[in-house]
């Protein structure tokens, strides 16, 4: 996606760039909020940060570096915030900016999350992992919907994280689906979700080997403790 995003003029390049920003804006916004910026300013800074990356062709630089996308973005964000602290924003909020990639309700949702003493970096890593998992589940949902199995996905989705409220027998009766088949369905969707998460992580690494993916997942999961 990074390679397509920086390929100016190629079909789909603008869409890839927009999707790239949308995919990872939540961890960026979380970090900025944890730095103590008020919601409106944090939203503006998030938007300005992505505009800054685009204007500086930073993603083009990233596509040729041996670096994790996560590390690249957080390093660039920290430098951007330092510059902002030193010089302030020359342009007032709302003047000449492009449309926001998320409305204020997204910022408000992040602000309602439990407050603890985690550092901005840890908060960023936690939100990064949540983003990876959400992307995988959304991809999984789309796959089921395309196969005409939207109702089955809705029933199985809570079991991906082990938070299903219904017992297997109850769900079997509700779906009119044999228990053995249902257990296979749950096992299959969990395995597929894990595979998609690993694919999502691999896409953010310069080294997408299984060992590197496992190491990255371990680091991200440790941030949740």
**Mean pLDDT of the 148-168 span:** 84
Parent domain of 94: 1-114
Q: 78-82, 94-98, 125-129, 155-159: which range is least confident on average?
A: 94-98
Compute the distance between CA of residue 153 and CA of residue 192 in angstroms, rounded to an integer.
12
Examine the pLDDT at 165 and tell me if it is beyond 80: no
- Per-residue confidence (pLDDT) for residue 105, from 0 to 100: 52
pLDDT at 195: 96
Higher pLDDT, 149 or 100: 149
**pLDDT: which is higher, 27 or 59:** 27
What's the half-sphere exposure (Cβ side, CA atoms, 13 Å) at 149? Answer: 13
The token pair at 121 is: 């970096």
User: What's the rounded mean pLDDT across residues 138-163?
Assistant: 91
Residues 109 and 180 in one domain: no
User: Is the model's pLDDT at 163 over the cut of 60?
Assistant: yes
Does 49 share its domain with 156? Answer: no
Higher per-residue confidence, 205 vs 85: 205
Q: Over the stretch 28-62, which tens digit does the pLDDT of each residue have?
A: 999 999 988 888 889 989 988 988 887 777 766 66
132 and 221: one domain? yes
Domain boundary among 114, 137, 155: 114
Among the candidates 99, 114, 129, a domain finishes at 114
Q: Which of 74-78, 84-88, 124-128, 139-143 has the highest mean pLDDT?
A: 139-143
Domain boundary among 114, 142, 158: 114
Q: What is the spatial distance between Cα 55 and Cα 8, in angstroms, rounded to a whole number?
A: 12
Q: How many CA atoms lie within 13 A of 74 on its CB side?
A: 17
User: Average model confidence (pLDDT) for the chain?
Assistant: 79
Beta carbons within 8 Å of 10's beta carbon, 6+ residues apart: 4
Residues 211 and 155 in one domain: yes
Verify that 104 and 147 share a domain, yes or no.
Answer: no
Does one domain contain both 55 and 71? yes
Q: How many domains are contained in the chain?
A: 2
pLDDT tens per residue across span 60-118:
666 566 778 888 889 889 999 988 877 654 444 444 444 344 444 555 555 445 445 56
Residues 147 and 212 in one domain: yes
Query: CA of 27: how far to CAs of 10, 90, 196, in Å?
Result: 28, 25, 19
Name the residue among 41, 203, 180, 78 with its Cα closest to residue 131.
Answer: 203
Residue 212 in this model has a pLDDT that exceeds 50: yes
């Amino acid at each position: 996606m990074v390679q397509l995003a920086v390929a100016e003029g190629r079909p789909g390049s603008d869409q890839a760039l927009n999707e790239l920003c949308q995919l990872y804006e939540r961890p960026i916004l979380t970090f900025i909020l944890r730095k103590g910026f008020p919601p409106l300013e944090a939203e503006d800074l998030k938007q300005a940060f992505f505009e800054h990356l685009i204007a500086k062709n930073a993603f083009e630089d990233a596509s040729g570096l041996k670096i994790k996308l996560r590390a690249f973005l957080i390093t660039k964000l920290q430098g951007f915030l330092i510059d902002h602290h030193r010089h302030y924003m020359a342009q007032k909020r709302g003047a000449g900016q492009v449309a926001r990639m998320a409305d204020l309700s997204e910022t408000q949702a992040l602000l309602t999350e439990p407050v603890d003493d985690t550092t901005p970096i840890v908060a960023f890593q936690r939100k990064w992992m949540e983003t990876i998992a959400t992307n995988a589940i959304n991809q999984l949902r789309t796959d089921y919907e395309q196969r005409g199995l939207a109702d089955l996905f809705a029933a199985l989705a809570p079991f991906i994280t082990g938070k299903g409220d219904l017992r297997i027998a109850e769900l079997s009766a509700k779906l009119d689906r044999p228990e053995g088949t249902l257990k296979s369905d749950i096992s299959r969707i969990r395995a597929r979700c894990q595979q998609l998460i690993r694919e999502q992580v691999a896409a953010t690494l310069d080294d997408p080997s299984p060992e590197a993916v496992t190491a990255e997942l371990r680091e991200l999961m440790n941030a949740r403790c």
